[in-house]
Structure 1
Amino acid sequence: MNKRDKKVSVGIVGVGHLGEHHVKHFAEMENVQCVGFYDIDPVRAVLIGEKYKVKPYDSLQALLSDCDAVSIVTPTDTHFHIASDCINVGKHVFIEKPITKTVAEAEQLLTLANTNDVLIQVGHIERLNPALIPLKNYSISPKYIEIQRLAPYDVRGTDVPVVLDKMIHDIDILLFLVNSNVESIDANGISILTDSIDIANARIRFKNGTIANITSSRVAQDHVRKAKIFQQDLYITIDFLLGLTEIYRVLDPEEPDPDAIQDVPFQYGDKKKKIVYEKPEIPTLDALKAELENFANSVQGSATPIVDGLAGKNALELATNIHDLILKDLH
């Protein structure tokens, strides 16, 4: 049987709030056999097992003996040891973000995965936000990017600083959009409700000249998830929460734009131009389902991970550098 025709047997480790959704989606996929899950809470395990008709295992080792791939949905400080156990016995792994607690751990996982010829995919779900889809139709070479990710206080996620909980989403998007190494970072932040950083801001300069300003907060009044991208003759605004992308382009007066909703002519000096406004249709997409489908397809060999282990490590490394700068400034 061809590898692509064989169902992928997947197990889940951790069936808390997010892990339950992993069980649900994998159980519904036609090319996946959801063999079961392991969770340290036996009461929760019985509940999820009965709800989705999926087998709860009493140990990680027992689960690993029955699957090809594992989805790890546990607290960050457990990622390295669980993923290592999986990779060492030849299992492909999906790891919810951040990939690990430390960059050194992430680097060790990448080495292990290469040695054991397995793939790592990291759950940076915002990369699959449908509002990003229209960008593939444009040549993106940003000079300035501004991103805000604000949320009201929620006790879930407060076990890690806001940079590693929320800002890391935007760091991953930033590294995806800007094809350049980081040159310098300025960062500041403050603790308000917890013992770790609750609000953070970073200004990042890349070696190609791009500047990015990103802000994250988990003590805001309302949810805000927005990005603005500026480059020569192009301005893009993205609302990740609403799934809304708006595009403004500068064109020559005679240059056609079939996607334009509106155009406004203007003149500076002896040059005549027009600004065209586009509002592309955003498809409806369950980002988590799409992310997990990508993982299953990647294990089968019909796709490649949208966010692979190296991308997860790079996002963690920049996030860690930002967080360390904030702590240094506070002390």
Structure 2
Amino acid sequence: MAKMNKNINVGVIGVGHLGRHHTKHYAQLKCANLIGVYDTDQRAREETALKYDTKPFDSMEALIKEVDAVSIVTPTHQHKVVAESCIKSGKHVFIEKPITKTLGEANALINLADKNKRLIQVGHIERLNPALIPLSNLDLDPKYIEVQRLAPYMSRGTDVPVVLDLMIHDIDLVLAFVKAPVEQIQASGVSIMTRSVDIANARIRFENGTVANITSSRVAKDRVRKLKLFQQDLYITIDFLIGLTEIYKVMDEDQSDPEATMSAPLESNGRNRQIFYEKPEIKKYDALELELKNFIKSIQGEASPIVDGVAGRNALDVAIQIHDKILEDLQ
């Protein structure tokens, strides 16, 4: 996409809990002009507009006419219809995860965006978690990944099963780590508080032999968000909640890492090796702000979407396969 110097005129459709955060950040971004908000709830749109000094639009169509790009922060079942209206009107769209309710809807939006030369970015915010930054300098080729994402029950988000509400974050992360097609999926789950699946576990095997084990729950006592990654000569553990990343490297003695804070001797196949431990400093930042700035910069031709429509579609594909297998098991 050709570079453009002008600020991007943006609007927000859906100003519930997360939509208000989108509105706040757009109001603060120097590269964006917040034009207004729309929500079917008149009180919500008027209160949000007043708080962030913008215009409450009486219809989605009126807002779309006035902007270059839109954040779609509506319930999942509305994503396709809203995004379709925006793209047909020549607008770029940021769609909160999951991209759509079905694969057919996701494919239709991707094809429509390609036809109209518009951007789709999907809100898989975990890609921007500060605890992942130290991994960017590592040569990752994981063979086993274990992820836990547990949360206490909240009524918000229960319009979709836990696989599409919580687990899809970790599915997207795993797909970003593993550069190979999915070979096999095993899954189980159960409904406890809602009519849909509230606890789920999935074992994903990839064609290169990598295995990922993902557990998600929205009826846990305490919040847990942890990831462990294992590969040859490397083990990484991350606690996303407290911003802790720990890296264990197995290296020859003559490859000692000056940044390692601790080492332990190891004898392997007659070689003198060391286990080096690192706890890199995690610099905190607002991931949503960075995500929305990436969206604007992508429209301006200065960046590429962190999670584009295809990546969002791929995460949805695996999530739906997992959910379908759970339903088969429950029947």
TM-score interval w.r.t. the shorter chain?
A: over 0.9
Give the partner amino acid of 1:139.
D
Give the partner amino acid of 1:296.
I
Per-residue deviation, 1:183: 0.2
Per-residue deviation, 1:267: 1.5
For 1:216-240, what per-residue CA distance to the aligned partner results, in whole angstroms no more than 9, with x for missing partners?
0001110000000000000000111
**Structure 1 residue 237 and structure 2 residue 237: aligned?**
yes
Match of 1:133 in 2: 133
Per-residue deviation, 1:248: 0.1
Match of 1:321 in 2: 321
**Where does 1:70-89 land on structure 2 (aligned, <5 Å)?**
70-89=70-89
| C-alpha distance in structure 1 between counterparts of 2:276 and 2:8, whole Å | 47
Match of 1:98 in 2: 98
**Structure 1 residue 44 and structure 2 residue 66: aligned?**
no
Give the partner amino acid of 1:102.
T
**Structure 1 residue 107 and structure 2 residue 107: aligned?**
yes
Match of 1:175 in 2: 175
**Structure 1 residue 246 and structure 2 residue 246: aligned?**
yes
3-state SS of 1:85 partner: helix
Give the partner amino acid of 1:302.
E
Per-residue deviation, 1:271: 2.3
Per-residue deviation, 1:268: 3.8
Question: Structure 2 regions of 5+ residues with no counterpart?
Answer: none
3-state SS of 2:255 partner: coil
For 1:256-287, what per-residue CA distance to the aligned partner results, in whole angstroms no more than 9, with x for missing partners?
20210001112245222110001111111101
Shift >6 Å, 4+ stretches: none
| C-alpha distance in structure 2 between counterparts of 1:209 and 1:44, whole Å | 49
Give identity over the alignment, percent.
61
Match of 2:60 in 1: 60
Match of 2:33 in 1: 33
| C-alpha distance in structure 2 between counterparts of 1:92 and 1:190, whole Å | 38
Give the partner amino acid of 1:85.
S
Match of 2:305 in 1: 305
Judge conservation of contact 2:3–2:302 (CA < 8 Å) in 1.
Answer: no
Give the partner amino acid of 1:62.
A
**Structure 1 residue 160 and structure 2 residue 154: aligned?**
no
Question: Structure 1 regions of 5+ residues with no counterpart?
Answer: none
3-state SS of 2:253 partner: coil
Match of 2:222 in 1: 222
Give the partner amino acid of 2:18.
L
* TM-score normalised by structure 2 residue count: 0.98
| C-alpha distance in structure 1 between counterparts of 2:136 and 2:157, whole Å | 32
| C-alpha distance in structure 2 between counterparts of 1:186 and 1:3, whole Å | 45
| C-alpha distance in structure 2 between counterparts of 1:189 and 1:123, whole Å | 25
Give the partner amino acid of 1:135.
L
| C-alpha distance in structure 1 between counterparts of 2:16 and 2:59, whole Å | 16
Match of 1:205 in 2: 205
| C-alpha distance in structure 1 between counterparts of 2:174 and 2:60, whole Å | 35
Match of 2:143 in 1: 143
3-state SS of 2:284 partner: coil
Match of 2:16 in 1: 16
| C-alpha distance in structure 2 between counterparts of 1:80 and 1:302, whole Å | 27
Q: Structure 1 stretch 141-150 or stretch 38-47: which is displaced more?
A: 38-47
For 1:186-236, what per-residue CA distance to the aligned partner results, in whole angstroms no more than 9, with x for missing partners?
100001111100000000100000001000000111000000000000000
Match of 2:191 in 1: 191
| C-alpha distance in structure 1 between counterparts of 2:4 and 2:281, whole Å | 32
| C-alpha distance in structure 2 between counterparts of 1:206 and 1:255, whole Å | 32
Per-residue deviation, 1:3: 4.6
3-state SS of 2:228 partner: strand
3-state SS of 2:254 partner: coil
3-state SS of 1:22 partner: helix
Superposed CA RMSD in Å reads: 0.9
3-state SS of 1:254 partner: helix
| C-alpha distance in structure 2 between counterparts of 1:302 and 1:203, whole Å | 38
| C-alpha distance in structure 2 between counterparts of 1:233 and 1:168, whole Å | 28
Judge conservation of contact 2:77–2:101 (CA < 8 Å) in 1.
Answer: yes
3-state SS of 1:283 partner: coil
